[in-house]
């Protein structure tokens, strides 16, 4: 419908009604929601028939609903001046008028329960108050009612208390009749008609209540959580929230609601304290709005246990509404106690479980405890993601545990010394026992694997000991003994004969990662004395330690990526797999570079002496003595090689003859085909350090021999070059010395 069309339609209707001598009355609930609204429509609604006598229009009465803002911004000044009367309906029109509110509910419910003919008949009689029709109750017998004069109107599916409570729960802007009908009356009536056995299904957060009845319902182990929540909601919102029973006119009332109503809804009956019939009817008793009911008592509860009330209110929302998430991780008032509760639950479990008796090393437990994103327990549907072993479901049982720790902190000041504290503690202890095996298993396992980070830390520490030379007396890793891991840490010596690759890897294993691995090896099997996790008194479980280390030894320190646990979700455990991989990835390069240099050194020695004739250190000494003899003869013969003699190198080689002999032997062994780890162990004896001075001496002597040989040949040619007998005779003695020196050169080479 286009703008302007409504005006035409209204004029046509008025013309037809004029012919019949009738009056047009138009009711528009909300003009802002109507289509085709413009100034022409407003003009048509406000135009008196005297303004257009030629069109023969009937009289018109326009009753138009409009919001304040729309009226102020969209109505022209001349339009406003033509409005005769205002009926102001405030947003909170029933504020302070409890009886008017209940009457509004009662009349609406009564009207929608009547058939059309009954209403029309009453209207034809001009709707006399004394003949106001009341519907016949077919559903909701014995429910609450409203007394209208001499008649009683059944207000199923509400009670007086429910009307007042639900009204107070509405936002102030939604307390007008239209919002009440749409947001309260219509949805609750629809729920009751469609499924009375689940009524009430809508969840409303309970605030300012005495929790006695709620605790009684929640502690009933025979009831399902949905029934507990539904019954609690009904007894507190529809009833008076009191654990009381009385009779009136032969009807038994529980919490102010007839027993037959509970049966009609399929709700269980709760035993309570028998009391006398109240002096006033139960419906009259609850006509005070929620904010006024037991006001002084509520204020005291809020003041004394503010965080308990706030936290449990949040938990109830979480339980009652499946889409609601607990705001964990924030620090606002309504969740601070819940954050603390989660932390205190985890701290409690860590402290009360005897981990050692359960077969869990303290180190393994601490690895989990010190992981910021890892929790033993967290909450289902919480806003902050966290990796937890146990997720507390949004259930009544979880509420009990959370409540216990909130009260422990807020009421007991971090102790169980508060009213009913022992009951809460007993409940927590039973719950702890029920999840203990799951917690223990989670610390020792993940993804159906046993967390084996101790083995990786041990293997890494063995590699460090090999690189540092602490395992040089062994031939292969299967001969290692567990005790070498327990020896005092040796100072790392980088002044060695190893390659740069070797020393670089040694630095890695001597760094912070290596220190962490060593500490893990030494501390994993500590048995704390006492119950404190931070105890400084320990006994060492050597038997278990030795067994675990031998398991590592049997692997020959060989691990593939599949063998490692690089997928461990706990970082503080995973780092040992990553550290060991870092070492093993570098071992092939280290071995290759060491082998290359050793091979080169052995080849130099073999090119200058016959190693088959070297049987012990004395043979090394003889070689050194022969070299010294060469230099001495060269000196006597005034050969230039004499001045190049390195006396210090000669003394060192002779003094360390045993080391040189051992280095030759170890170097040759290191060149044999074997596993990388065995090669590493053999190279850890540092044969390069022993071979280097001897290689330097032989290389230097070889070079000097070449030069001396050339010098001798030159001098001999010079001496015999002219064939003069006198000259020959003159250099005969010199020639003999040169021949003797040359002979010694040959001996050294041999």
Q: Would the pLDDT of 298 be above 50? A: no
Q: What is the pLDDT of residues 73-91, one digit of tens each?
A: 878 887 787 788 888 877 7
Mean pLDDT of 210-215: 83
pLDDT above 80: residue 31: no
- Residue 386 pLDDT > 70, yes or no? yes
On average, the pLDDT of the chain sits at 83
| Contact (Cβ atoms closer than 8 angstroms) between residue 531 and residue 353 | no
Q: What is the largest CA-CA distance in the chain?
A: 174
The region, left, alpha or beta by phi > 0 then psi within -120 to 50, assigned to residue 570 is: beta
Residues 6+ apart with CB under 8 A from 288: 98, 164
Q: Which of 36-45, 111-120, 449-458, 492-501 has the lowest mean pLDDT?
A: 36-45
Q: Quote the pLDDT of residue 575.
A: 95
More confident residue, 746 or 339: 339
Mean pLDDT of 530-544: 65
pLDDT at 673: 84
Indicate if the pLDDT at residue 32 is higher than 90: no
Q: What percentage of the chain has pLDDT greater than the value 90? A: 33
Q: Is the Cα dihedral 142, 143, 149, 151 positive or negative?
A: negative
Residue 644 pLDDT: 77
Question: DSSP assignment, residue 237?
Answer: I
Q: What percent of the chain has pLDDT over 70?
A: 87
Question: What average pLDDT does the segment 394-409 reach?
Answer: 90
Q: 587, 499 in Cβ contact below 8 A?
A: no
**Residues making up the chain, counted from first to last:** 750
Q: Which two tokens stand for residue 422?
A: 């022992």
Mean pLDDT (whole number) for 502-511: 95
Q: Report pLDDT for 313.
A: 83
The residue-averaged pLDDT of 650-666 equals 85
Q: Select from 11, 16, 87, 88 the least CA-distant residue to 46.
A: 11
Residue 701's pLDDT is 81
Residue 146: helix, strand or coil by DSSP? strand
CA dist 645 and 636 (Å) reads: 13
pLDDT (average), residues 83-104: 84
pLDDT of 716 higher than 80:
no
Q: What is the mean pLDDT of residues 23-44?
A: 74
Gap between the Cα atoms of 267 and 254, Å rounded: 12
Strongest mean pLDDT among 70-74, 534-538, 584-588, 655-659: 584-588
Choice among 55-59, 460-464, 510-514 with the minimum mean pLDDT:
55-59
The reported pLDDT for the residue numbered 35 is 54
Buried b (16+ CB within 10 A) or exposed e, 515-551: ebbbebbbebbbebeeeeeeeeeeeebeeebeebbee
Q: Are 481 and 458 in contact (CB under 8 A)?
A: no
Residue 137 near residue 152 (C-beta atoms within 8 A): no
79-88, 132-141, 366-375, range with greatest mean pLDDT: 132-141
- pLDDT, residue 522, reads 92
pLDDT higher than threshold 90 for residue 250: no
3-state secondary structure of 562: coil
Alpha helices in 157-224 (DSSP H): 160-169, 177-180, 186-194, 212-218
């Amino acid at each position: 419908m286009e703008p302007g069309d409504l005006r035409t339609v209204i004029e046509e209707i008025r013309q037809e009604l004029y012919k019949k001598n009738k009056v047009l009355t138009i009711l528009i609930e909300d003009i802002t929601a109507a289509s085709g609204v413009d100034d022409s429509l407003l003009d048509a609604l406000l135009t008196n028939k005297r303004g257009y006598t030629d069109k023969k229009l009937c009289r018109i009465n326009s009753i138009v609903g409009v919001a304040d803002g729309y009226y102020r911004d969209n109505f022209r000044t001349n339009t406003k001046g033509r409005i005769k009367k205002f009926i102001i309906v405030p947003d909170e029109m029933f504020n302070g008028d409890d009886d008017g509110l209940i009457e509004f509910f009662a009349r609406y419910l009564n009207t929608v329960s009547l058939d059309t003919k009954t209403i029309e008949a009453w209207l034809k009689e001009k709707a006399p108050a004394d003949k106001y029709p009341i519907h016949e109750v077919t559903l909701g017998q014995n429910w609450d009612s409203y007394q209208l004069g001499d008649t009683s109107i059944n207000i199923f599916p509400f009670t007086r208390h429910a009307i007042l409570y639900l009204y107070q729960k509405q936002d102030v802007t939604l307390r007008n009749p239209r919002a009440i009908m749409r947001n309260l009356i219509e949805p609750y009536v629809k729920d009751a008609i469609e499924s009375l056995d689940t009524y009430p299904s809508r969840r409303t957060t309970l605030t300012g209540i005495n929790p006695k009845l709620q605790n009684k319902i929640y502690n009933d182990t025979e009831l399902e959580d949905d029934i507990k929540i539904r019954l609690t909601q009904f007894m507190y919102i529809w009833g008076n929230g009191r654990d009381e029973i009385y009779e009136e006119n032969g009807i038994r009332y529980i919490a102010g609601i007839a027993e037959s109503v509970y049966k009609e809804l399929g709700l269980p009956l709760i035993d309570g304290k028998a009391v006398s019939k109240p002096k006033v009817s139960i419906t009259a008793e609850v006509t005070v709005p929620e904010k006024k009911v037991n006001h002084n008592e509520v204020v005291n509860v809020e003041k004394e246990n503010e965080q308990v009330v706030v936290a449990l209110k949040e938990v109830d929302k979480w339980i009652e509404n499946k889409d609601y998430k607990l705001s964990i991780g924030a620090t606002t008032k309504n969740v601070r106690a819940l954050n603390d509760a989660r932390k205190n639950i985890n701290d409690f479990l860590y402290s009360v479980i005897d981990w050692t008796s359960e077969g869990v090393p303290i180190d393994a437990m601490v690895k989990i405890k010190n992981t910021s994103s890892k929790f033993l327990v967290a909450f289902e549907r919480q806003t902050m993601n966290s990796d937890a072993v146990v997720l507390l479901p949004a259930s009544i049982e979880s509420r009990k545990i959370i409540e216990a720790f909130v009260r422990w902190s807020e009421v007991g000041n971090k102790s169980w010394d508060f009213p009913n504290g022992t009951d809460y503690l007993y409940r927590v202890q039973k719950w702890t026992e029920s999840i203990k095996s799951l917690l223990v298993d989670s610390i020792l396992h993940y993804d159906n694997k046993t967390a084996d980070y101790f083995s990786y830390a041990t293997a890494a520490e063995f590699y460090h000991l090999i690189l540092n030379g602490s395992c040089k007396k062994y031939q292969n890793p299967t001969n290692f003994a567990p005790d070498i891991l327990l020896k005092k840490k040796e100072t790392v010596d980088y002044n060695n004969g190893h390659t740069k690759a070797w020393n670089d890897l040694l630095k890695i294993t001597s760094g912070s990662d290596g220190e962490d691995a060593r500490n893990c090896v030494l501390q994993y099997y500590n048995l704390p004395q006492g119950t404190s996790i931070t105890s400084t008194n320990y006994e060492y479980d050597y038997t278990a330690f030795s067994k675990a280390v031998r398991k590592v030894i049997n692997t020959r320190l060989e691990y593939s990526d599949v063998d490692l646990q690089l997928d461990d979700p706990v970082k503080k455990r995973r780092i040992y797999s990553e550290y060991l991989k870092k070492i093993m990835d570098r071992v092939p390069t280290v071995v290759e570079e060491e082998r290359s240099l050793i091979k080169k050194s052995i080849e130099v020695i073999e090119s200058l002496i016959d190693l088959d004739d070297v049987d012990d250190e004395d043979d090394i000494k003889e070689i050194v003595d022969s070299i010294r003899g060469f230099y001495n003869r060269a000196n006597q013969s005034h050969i230039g090689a004499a001045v190049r003699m390195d006396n210090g190198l000669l003394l060192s080689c002779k003094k360390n003859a045993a080391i040189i002999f051992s280095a030759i032997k170890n170097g040759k062994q290191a060149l044999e085909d074997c596993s990388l780890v065995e090669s590493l162990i053999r190279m850890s004896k540092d044969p390069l350090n022993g071979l280097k001075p001897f290689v330097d001496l032989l290389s230097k002597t070889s070079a000097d021999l070449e030069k001396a040989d050339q010098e001798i040949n030159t001098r001999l040619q010079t001496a015999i070059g002219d064939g003069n007998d006198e000259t020959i005779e003159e250099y005969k003695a010199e020639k003999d010395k040169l021949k003797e020196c040359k002979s010694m050169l040959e001996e050294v080479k041999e």
